[in-house]
Chain A
Amino acid sequence: MELAGVATVAGFVLGTLCAVGLRSGGGMARLCSIYVEAIRNTPLLVQIFLVYFGLASLGLRLSAFVVAVLALTINVAAYTAEIMRAGLDSIPPGQIEAGECLGLSRVQLYWHVLLLPAMERVYPALASQFVLLMLASSVCSQISAEEMTAVANHVQSETFRPFEAFIVLAGLYIVLSVLMRAVFWLLGLALFPRRRRLGTAL
Chain B
Amino acid sequence: MEIGQLNANHAAFLLQGAMWTVVLSAIACLGGGVLGMGVALCRVASSRFLRGASGAYVQLVQGTPPLVAMFLLYFGLPGIGFDVPALIAAGLALVVNVSAFLGEIWRGCIEAVPRPQWEAAECLALSRIQRLVKVILPQAVRIAVPPTVGFSVQVIKNTSLASVVGFVELARSGQIINNSLFQPFVVYAVIALVYFALCYPLSRWSRVLERRAGSWRRRPAGLATLAAP
A and B touch in the complex (CB under 8 A): yes
Residues on A close to B: CB < 8 A? 37-38, 40-47, 49-50, 52-54, 56-57, 75-76, 79, 82-83, 86, 122, 124-125, 128-129, 132-133, 135-136, 138-139, 141-142, 149, 152-153, 156, 160-167, 169-170, 173-178
Cβ B160 vs Cβ A46 within 8 A: yes
B71 close to A (CB within 8 Å) = yes
Q: How far is the CA of A115 from the CA of B217 in the complex (A)?
A: 29
Q: Specify which chain B residues have a CB less than 8 angstroms from the CB of A173 in the assembled complex.
A: 63-65, 68
Cβ B63 vs Cβ A47 within 8 A: no
Cβ A174 vs Cβ B60 within 8 A: yes
> In the complex, how many angstroms separate the beta carbon of A175 from the nearest chain B beta carbon?
8
Q: Specify which chain A residues have a CB less than 8 angstroms from the CB of B69 in the assembled complex.
A: 170
**Cβ contacts B149-170/A at 8 Å (1 or 0 each):** 0000100011011011000000
Q: How far is the CA of A164 from the CA of B80 in the complex (A)?
A: 9
B79 close to A (CB within 8 Å) = yes
Q: How far is the CA of A50 from the CA of B164 in the complex (A)?
A: 16
Q: How far is the CA of A76 from the CA of B228 in the complex (A)?
A: 10
Of the stretches B107-115, B118-126, B181-189, the one at the interface is: B181-189
Cβ A162 vs Cβ B79 within 8 A: yes
Contact of A132 among B59, B68, B184, B229 (CB under 8 A): B229
Q: Is the interface of A mostly helix, strand, loop or mixed?
A: helix
> In the complex, how many angstroms separate the beta carbon of B87 from the nearest chain A beta carbon?
18
> In the complex, how many angstroms separate the beta carbon of B89 from the nearest chain A beta carbon?
12
Cβ B185 vs Cβ A136 within 8 A: no
> In the complex, how many angstroms separate the beta carbon of B213 from the nearest chain A beta carbon?
15
B55 close to A (CB within 8 Å) = no
Question: Can you name 7 A-B pairs with beta carbons within 8 Å?
Answer: A46-B191, A53-B184, A82-B227, A122-B225, A163-B72, A169-B68, A170-B64
Extra pairs beyond A138-B67, A139-B161 (6, CB < 8 Å): A40-B203, A42-B195, A45-B163, A135-B65, A156-B75, A166-B71
Cβ B59 vs Cβ A125 within 8 A: no
Question: Which chain A residue has the least Cβ–Cβ distance from B71?
Answer: A166
Q: How far is the CA of A152 from the CA of B69 in the complex (A)?
A: 13
Contact of B67 among A50, A56, A149, A174 (CB under 8 A): A149
> In the complex, how many angstroms separate the beta carbon of B226 from the nearest chain A beta carbon?
6
B62 close to A (CB within 8 Å) = yes
Cβ A167 vs Cβ B72 within 8 A: yes
Cβ A124 vs Cβ B222 within 8 A: yes
Cβ B79 vs Cβ A160 within 8 A: yes
**Cβ contacts B174-206/A at 8 Å (1 or 0 each):** 100000000011001101100110011001000
Q: How far is the CA of A49 from the CA of B178 in the complex (A)?
A: 12
> In the complex, how many angstroms separate the beta carbon of A128 from the nearest chain B beta carbon?
6
Cβ A43 vs Cβ B67 within 8 A: no
- The CB with the most chain B CB atoms within 10 A, among A135, A160, A167, is that of A135
